[in-house]
């Protein structure tokens, strides 16, 4: 790798809306995590061993057709250094008490290597798949996280459980129902946030923010960070107190032909995300006005091939990081080094499944981004 020694200096926003470096605060590099898909327990353990040996920081577990908890447990039992997070676990179908109990148990059994990432999901899934209410998701999420933290404080013995919020009221925790004590009680909770209201909530109550995979640096610096700052100010916090966890469409390869499969995959995924009206601003901010409307029309018509044709190479330059195997770490650091705490590679799993020797190459990228 051609990466020179580098330290990341966090940004904060000042009253005029500009970004400035946080005085005296320097952080080494960025963590580099692997985004998983659906795995059996044995597959999760085997993958975790390979990722740890290769140089990755951790594994991020999604919640789609599988819940993440058992996969995390299997991976944790197979390793002693990898960190684990959910990106994201769906919040509202579970009581904050249930999420707190799961997070507490995973934190203890991983010796502090777990952090909980929560998201609201969309109304259709929450109401029709999970059968629970979905109203004012940002307001509900704020209440959810504060109730979760009240549970953790009660588990630690800091206070009796006595939480009264707009959506959650928790005040009963007999001693025999409180989870066993352990030493790893500083459990981080992160939120997936895209729009302004959820970003402000994250600024108020979260330890970190999961940035949506479809993003540009313009979005991060001109939309996400200012909204985080508004929320952080409400609690007398700095934006620099909040970690940014950033999934990235990373497309490595030493020739256009080698990069082509992952590039096509990224193009189709961005077309899918971009067809959602809530993400229209991602295109509009970059000067690609009307893209979401076109994608949405093609989606309704079932023209998937037509959708991918809408996503131009110029658009991909904003939403992906593409380059030679020896260049990608530098490109990632140049784009994200001043804002991100953790990067999560979105497509590495597909790359490794198609070409298992690529695990070592991805590991070199991970180690370089981490400064190892």
Higher-scoring residue by pLDDT: 9, 279: 279
At residue 360, the pLDDT reads: 97
User: Is the pLDDT score of 25 beyond 70?
Assistant: no
**Angstrom distance (rounded) from CA 4 to CA 160:** 51
| High-pLDDT (> 90) share of the chain, % | 91
- Tell me, what's the pLDDT at 372? 86
Residue 172, number of CB atoms within 10 A of its CB: 10
Q: Specify whether the CB–CB gap between 135 and 127 falls below 8 A.
A: no
Taking the C-alpha atoms of residue 191 and residue 216, their distance in angstroms, rounded to an integer, is 19
pLDDT at 283 over 90: yes
Beta-sheet pairing, 169-170 with 320-323: unpaired
Q: Which of the four pLDDT bands, split at 50, 70 and 90, describes residue 2?
A: very low
In the prediction, which pLDDT does 79 show? 98
Calpha distance 284→18 (Å, rounded): 22
d(CA 309, CA 190): 35
Give the CA angle between residues 39, 45, 50 to the nearest 5°: 105
Q: By CB neighbour count within 10 A (0-12 exposed, 13-18 middle, 19+ buried), where does 95 fall?
A: middle
In whole angstroms, give the CA distance from residue 95 to residue 172. Answer: 13
pLDDT of residue 309: 97
pLDDT digits (tens, 9 = 90+) for 177-222: 999 999 999 999 999 999 999 999 999 999 999 999 999 999 999 9
pLDDT at 18: 38
Contact 274, 216 (CB under 8 A): no
pLDDT of amino acid 17: 41
pTM of the model: 0.91
Q: Is the pLDDT of residue 286 over 70?
A: yes
pLDDT of residue 9: 34
In this predicted structure, the answer to whether residue 99 has a pLDDT above a threshold of 60 is: yes
Which has the higher per-residue pLDDT, 286 or 2?
A: 286
Interatomic CA distance for residues 338 and 227, integer angstroms: 18
The yes-or-no verdict on residue 13 having pLDDT over 60 is no
Cis peptide before 249 (omega within 30 of 0): no
CA 356 to chain centre: 25
Q: Is pLDDT above 60 for 21?
A: no
Q: Which one, of 93, 203, 198, 190, lies nearest residue 149 by Cα?
A: 190
Give whole-number Cα distances, 342 to 60, 76, 83, 333, 372, in Å. 11, 19, 11, 11, 15
Mean pLDDT of 22-31: 56
Terminal-to-terminal C-alpha distance of the chain: 11
3-state secondary structure of 219: helix
Residue 3 pLDDT: 30
5 — pLDDT class (breaks 50, 70, 90): very low
Question: Count of CB atoms within 10 A of residue 68's CB?
Answer: 26
CA 44 vs CA 37, 74, 75, 131, 357: distances in Å: 10, 6, 5, 29, 18
Show the tokens assigned to 283.
């295109």
C-alpha dihedral sign at 322, 324, 329, 330: negative
146-174 pLDDT, tens digit per residue, is: 999 999 999 999 999 999 999 999 999 99
| 44-69 pLDDT per residue, tens | 999 999 999 999 999 999 999 999 99
pLDDT of residue 29: 86
């Amino acid at each position: 790798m051609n990466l020179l020694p580098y330290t990341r200096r966090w940004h904060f926003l000042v009253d005029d809306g500009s970004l400035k470096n946080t005085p005296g605060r320097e952080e080494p590099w960025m963590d580099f995590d692997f985004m998983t898909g659906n795995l059996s327990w044995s597959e999760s353990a085997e993958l975790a061993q390979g990722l740890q040996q290769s140089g990755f920081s951790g594994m991020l577990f999604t919640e789609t057709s599988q819940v993440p908890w058992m996969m995390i447990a299997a991976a944790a039992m197979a390793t002693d250094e990898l960190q684990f997070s959910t990106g994201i676990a769906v919040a509202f179908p579970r009581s904050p008490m249930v999420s707190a109990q799961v997070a507490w148990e995973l934190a203890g059994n991983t010796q502090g290597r777990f952090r909980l990432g929560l998201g609201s999901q969309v109304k259709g899934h929450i109401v029709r798949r999970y059968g629970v209410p979905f109203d004012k998701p940002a307001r509900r999420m704020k209440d959810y996280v504060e109730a979760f933290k009240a549970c953790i404080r009660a588990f630690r013995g800091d206070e009796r459980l006595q939480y009264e919020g707009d959506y959650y009221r928790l005040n009963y925790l007999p001693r025999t129902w409180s989870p066993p004590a352990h030493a790893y009680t500083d459990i981080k909770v992160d939120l997936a946030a895209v729009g302004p209201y959820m970003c402000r909530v994250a600024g108020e109550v979260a330890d970190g923010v999961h940035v949506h995979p479809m993003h540009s640096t313009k979005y991060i610096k001109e939309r996400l960070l200012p909204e985080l700052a508004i929320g952080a100010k409400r609690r007398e916090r700095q934006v620099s107190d909040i970690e940014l966890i950033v999934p990235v469409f990373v497309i490595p390869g030493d020739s256009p032909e080698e990069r082509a499969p992952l590039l096509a995959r990224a193009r189709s995924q961005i077309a899918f995300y971009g067809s959602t009206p809530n993400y229209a601003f991602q295109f509009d901010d970059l000067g690609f006005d009307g893209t979401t409307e076109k994608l949405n029309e093609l989606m309704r018509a079932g023209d998937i091939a037509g959708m991918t044709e809408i996503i131009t190479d110029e658009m991909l330059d904003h939403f992906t990081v593409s380059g030679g195997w020896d260049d990608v770490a530098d490109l990632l650091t140049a784009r994200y080094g001043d804002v991100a705490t953790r990067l999560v590679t979105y497509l590495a799993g597909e790359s490794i499944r198609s070409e298992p020797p690529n695990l070592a190459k991805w590991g070199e990228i991970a180690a370089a981004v981490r400064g190892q």
